[in-house]
Structure 1
Amino acid sequence: MSLAHPAADVWTLLADVADETPDAPAFIHGERRLSFAELLECSARAAQGLSDLGVGPGDRVALWLPNIPAYPILYFACARLGAIAVAVNTRYRAVEVADIVGRSGAKVLACAPAFRRIDFLSILAGIEHEALDRLAAIVTIGETPEPVPPAIEHRRRVPFDRLLSRPQFAGNHASARAPCNIFTTSGTTSSPKFVLHRQGAIAGHAQQVARSFGFTAPETLSLAILPLCGVFGFNQTLATLAAGKPSVLVESYEIEEIARLITEHKPTTMFGSDDMYQRLMELMPGRWPFRSIKWAGYAAFNASLEDLPERAQPRGLRLVGLYGMSEVQALYSRQPLNLPVAKRKAGGGVPVSPLAHVRVRDPETGELLKPGQPGMLEMAGPSLMVGYYGNEQATAAAMTPDGYVRTGDLGQLDGRGGFTYLSRMGDVLRLSGFLVNPLEIEMHIQKVPGITGCQTVAVPRPEGVRAVAFVILEPGAALDEAATIAHCKLGLANYKVPMRIFPIDDFPKTPSPNGFKIQRTKLREMAETLLGSAGLRPAS
């Protein structure tokens, strides 16, 4: 598959691949193999079906779907119509779905009410009748079980198969500047923002990733585990498609099913979190269970799994650090494959586009920093968002006057044309005037026997800002707070040592497409409350 000619828009991206390799599989889902030619035809038919429902250029279509063939079919149908596909996280429940559908002004909502692994029906039952008033129709994939939820009982429901029975849409409103995707931010402290992208940026980034990641290799087969409703999963799958290669659609995040599909399909590439890879390594026996995988995209979320890449390598699993966010798309950068594992596992890397650029700024002085100096990452490039849909104020706050997005992430340039991601700026602790990555403290605390998880926050006190830690204990374990603080004093600078350490059953979380994100704002509030009620001194 040649990527010599850039695709101007998302529809052209698909059409060019379908023209070159019409019979090659684009998606594998169970026993079904959907060829590129079939995907093109189904999408054109679905476009006519959506047009019949009143969807046209600029209209929003909410896709509240797992990784099933209907998702890419409806996505490309939207692209042909010049409509905007609104990604709705399958982990969201009634209030969240109603908020996104309402604020985006979606004209159509697509869902699979009978899907066996997510109870969409009961979620729909919890949505207030008025929240869906703007919808012209609900497109249902599969049967709708009885009884029909009140939220959709009196609304126009159109079976997905009926869309596919329509003739192919004769027009084509796809263009490089046409808006096409809305991704939602995770919204740990406020309502999710709507990140808007144009077709040219989506198509161009898919082709660039396909080239940079080596997806054009003849044997490429991608295991699409991560949800298509998030940029991580979406960009992986679209880049595989841009290379003219197949993706195996994984419906849900069930580790046994993922292991079975690895054994059955022998993928060459896959992407996921450290927790997912850890569970796969525990489940899949043998020394080389991942023999077919050339390298795997890796996102580190858990301090307790910091050594996972080193443990995975002897078993044939080469994990590679990446960087991405909704505002610049996922797979924005990747660590070079030839780096030693200790450096290769770090988030960040070299941007995939030669036109992309990363810089680091001191968040207090505004000074641009040199390699090795940590500060806030700012990014630019062809994969950049248009802005936050319906929120000009937030867009203005996120963008610099010269066109960089303020990522809100702490990182540093590496002096080799790349960068290293350290943590979220909101997670960074400013202690004794120093920027401190909480991961450093958390990893040290988790060396204490009986502690399986740790999160650290900064809390202002009369004597200055101090660190406070929350820990999760193994079943039956008890926290010796004084001993744990003494352990910190032996290995950390004094200003990094937590003033208190509190046990907690679980960290407060909010759902995101790739799992759950910890609500550090709530942890800070809890710390302030506990300090007020428990006093300043640790238990002795």
Structure 2
Amino acid sequence: MPLAQPAADVWTLVADVAGQTPDAPALTHGGRTVSFLELTESARRAAQGLADLGVGPGDRVALWLPNVPAYPILYLACIRLGAIAVAVNTRYRAVEVADIVGRSGAKVLACAPGFRRIDFLSILADIEPDALDRLAAIVTVGDEPASVPSAIARLRRVPYERLLSRPRLGLNNARASAPCNIFTTSGTTSAPKFVLHRQGAIASHAQQVARAFGFTAPDTLSLSILPLCGVYGFDQTMATLAAGKPCVLVESYEIDEIARLIADHRPTTLFGSDDLYARLLDAVPGDRPFPSVKWAGYAAFNASLDDIAETAEKRGLRLCGLYGMSEVQALYSLQPIDSDVAHRKKGGGVPTSPLGHVRVRDPETGELLGVGQPGMLECAGPSLMVGYYGNDAATAETVTADGYVRTGDLAELDGRGGFTFLSRMGDVLRLSGFLVNPLEIETHLQKLPSIAGCQAIAVPRPDGVRAVAFVILSPGATLDEAAAIAHCRQGLANYKVPVRVFAVDDFPRTPSANGFKIQRARLRDMALERL
């Protein structure tokens, strides 16, 4: 059975499953099923094809692909070669793609220029022709369009199918210590950093998640909705494969299509954001719209959906809060599935690995804090990154001398062996000497029917640091700023009351693999401009 022994590296992780259950389904996509044996055999052929292009140990291969079988096959090909797969966010545009490919020094870029659901072709057309000159080749997945942008027209292009026609690579450079993944951070104020992981960390984490999340159950089937280019979607899929169970790859984020796939395939587990579940519950009627789903992991990104876990519970969908980030991998922790919904809906939880450990530190004094005291979260365990690729200074700032990652998140120990995530430290407001989670202000303002969305930030004023709120109004509503501030005075401590409330059409955002993140630094600049 899979998971009987710890896998030293990623290739062993998947190949062991293929050896024990070769005909078991690994991936399903568009009516086609790929068995575990076909997955590993295709990866060995693709590895030979990449080797023909000059890819070897330590070389970088950029994967700019949607959730299609070519992604995990090319990833495992990199693993076999000892190469590093660079995840390129499918939401990125021309400048961002060129930056990631260039700074990582990628030798090969795999993309799908003819893919219809994401307009890769127009993005490629906007890339400066010389920005990709360091590439040895571009691997094109799917049919190549008749008109090819100049950025790639003069580069060597190799059809993905040609890679699969090559003989199987006999050499195996997979090692526990071999670097294998680069994920990009979704920074809102600077170029993304490159988070580097090694094979041993990826393999062991996948096995730990499979055990802790119950993926070893005989009926397990995952719906891989989240992009494989992000650590959240990647780790879900790898943990499912580690358990020897199938994944349905979802290339579209259209809610109707996702709902159809849930009905057709009856997955036992889902992972997504609060927004995803809210839209799914709106789209699918009935008292129990998703009866096959035992429980669903979710990340809370939208303060206006604070009650989504209770809403889902009433309709038979059990949501469980999680915690993760690129530096410690996704699914680092999970709220106990059998806990009450009020506890289960919170971000954080108990570390997935028995070797995982968290602590909370006062960001100013450096003192370690006890249960219920908010401070900066630090995480340790076998899933941690090697460091930031090409940026030793940033690594030294983030990883402590005793091996903990400084997450930059505000959290508190929960007294149950786990922790509760509160917010990003950079988002925390220090008002009148107190650390204030902006979610408190945002949630309170969103109780007003005229306010559909809210972001609260802090700005310096002559009378001290004060909160300022930016709101998106409900359709047809107008902002009564005085009434909004009075509403806050009635429900919040005086130092939490915003000094001003501004209406905006939308919040400034930056793309990440799982959606968009708010540019809070830009909001602070906007507040200072208006005060």
Aligned residue number for residue 15 of structure 1: 15
1:197 positional shift: 0.1
For structure 1, which segment, 254-263 or 141-150, has the greater mean C-alpha deviation from structure 2 after superposition?
141-150
Question: Residue 397 of structure 1 aligns to a residue in which SS?
Answer: helix
Aligned residue number for residue 445 of structure 1: 445
Using the alignment, how far apart are the partners of 2:78 and 2:32 within structure 1? Answer: 23
Using the alignment, how far apart are the partners of 1:273 and 1:2 within structure 2? Answer: 29
The alignment status of 1:245 with 2:267, answered yes or no, reads no
1:342 positional shift: 0.5
1:3 positional shift: 1.1
Using the alignment, how far apart are the partners of 1:60 and 1:129 within structure 2? Answer: 20
Return 5+ residue gaps in structure 1 as ranges: 532-540
Aligned residue number for residue 259 of structure 2: 259
Aligned length: 531
Aligned residue number for residue 372 of structure 1: 372
Aligned residue number for residue 476 of structure 1: 476
Question: Residue 201 of structure 2 aligns to a residue in which SS?
Answer: helix
Aligned residue number for residue 206 of structure 1: 206
**CA offset digits 1:363-418 (Å, max 9, x no partner):** 00000000100000001100000000000111011111111110000000011110
Code of the residue aligned with 1:98 in structure 2: it is A
Using the alignment, how far apart are the partners of 1:278 and 1:233 within structure 2? Answer: 19
Using the alignment, how far apart are the partners of 1:213 and 1:474 within structure 2? Answer: 38
Question: Residue 331 of structure 1 aligns to a residue in which SS?
Answer: strand
Aligned residue number for residue 94 of structure 1: 94
Aligned residue number for residue 52 of structure 2: 52
Using the alignment, how far apart are the partners of 2:392 and 2:431 within structure 1? Answer: 34
Code of the residue aligned with 2:82 in structure 1: it is G
1:4 positional shift: 2.5
Aligned residue number for residue 298 of structure 1: 298
TM-score using structure 1 length:
0.98
Aligned residue number for residue 190 of structure 1: 190
**CA offset digits 1:276-303 (Å, max 9, x no partner):** 1000000001111110000000111111
Code of the residue aligned with 1:467 in structure 2: it is A
The alignment status of 1:111 with 2:117, answered yes or no, reads no
Using the alignment, how far apart are the partners of 1:255 and 1:169 within structure 2? Answer: 40
Aligned residue number for residue 322 of structure 2: 322
Aligned residue number for residue 150 of structure 1: 150
The alignment status of 1:25 with 2:10, answered yes or no, reads no
Using the alignment, how far apart are the partners of 2:175 and 2:401 within structure 1? Answer: 26
Using the alignment, how far apart are the partners of 2:518 and 2:228 within structure 1? Answer: 21
Aligned residue number for residue 172 of structure 2: 172
Conserved 8 A contact 2:2-2:17: no
Question: Residue 62 of structure 2 aligns to a residue in which SS?
Answer: strand
Work out the percentage of aligned pairs sharing the same amino acid: 78
- Taking a change above 3 Å as real, the CA distance of residues 148 and 2 of structure 1, as seen in their structure-2 partners, is closer
Aligned residue number for residue 536 of structure 1: none
Aligned residue number for residue 399 of structure 1: 399
1:18 positional shift: 0.3
Aligned residue number for residue 216 of structure 2: 216
Conserved 8 A contact 2:2-2:16: no
1:2 positional shift: 3.4
Aligned residue number for residue 230 of structure 2: 230
Question: Residue 201 of structure 1 aligns to a residue in which SS?
Answer: helix
Using the alignment, how far apart are the partners of 2:253 and 2:91 within structure 1? Answer: 11
Return 5+ residue gaps in structure 2 as ranges: none
Question: Residue 33 of structure 2 aligns to a residue in which SS?
Answer: strand
Aligned residue number for residue 285 of structure 1: 285
Code of the residue aligned with 1:18 in structure 2: it is A
Code of the residue aligned with 1:331 in structure 2: it is L
The Cα RMSD (Å) is: 0.6
Using the alignment, how far apart are the partners of 1:103 and 1:464 within structure 2? Answer: 42
Aligned residue number for residue 436 of structure 2: 436
**CA offset digits 1:402-443 (Å, max 9, x no partner):** 111100000000111100000000000000000000000000
The alignment status of 1:160 with 2:151, answered yes or no, reads no
Question: Residue 332 of structure 1 aligns to a residue in which SS?
Answer: strand
Using the alignment, how far apart are the partners of 1:152 and 1:172 within structure 2? Answer: 31
Conserved 8 A contact 2:2-2:242: no
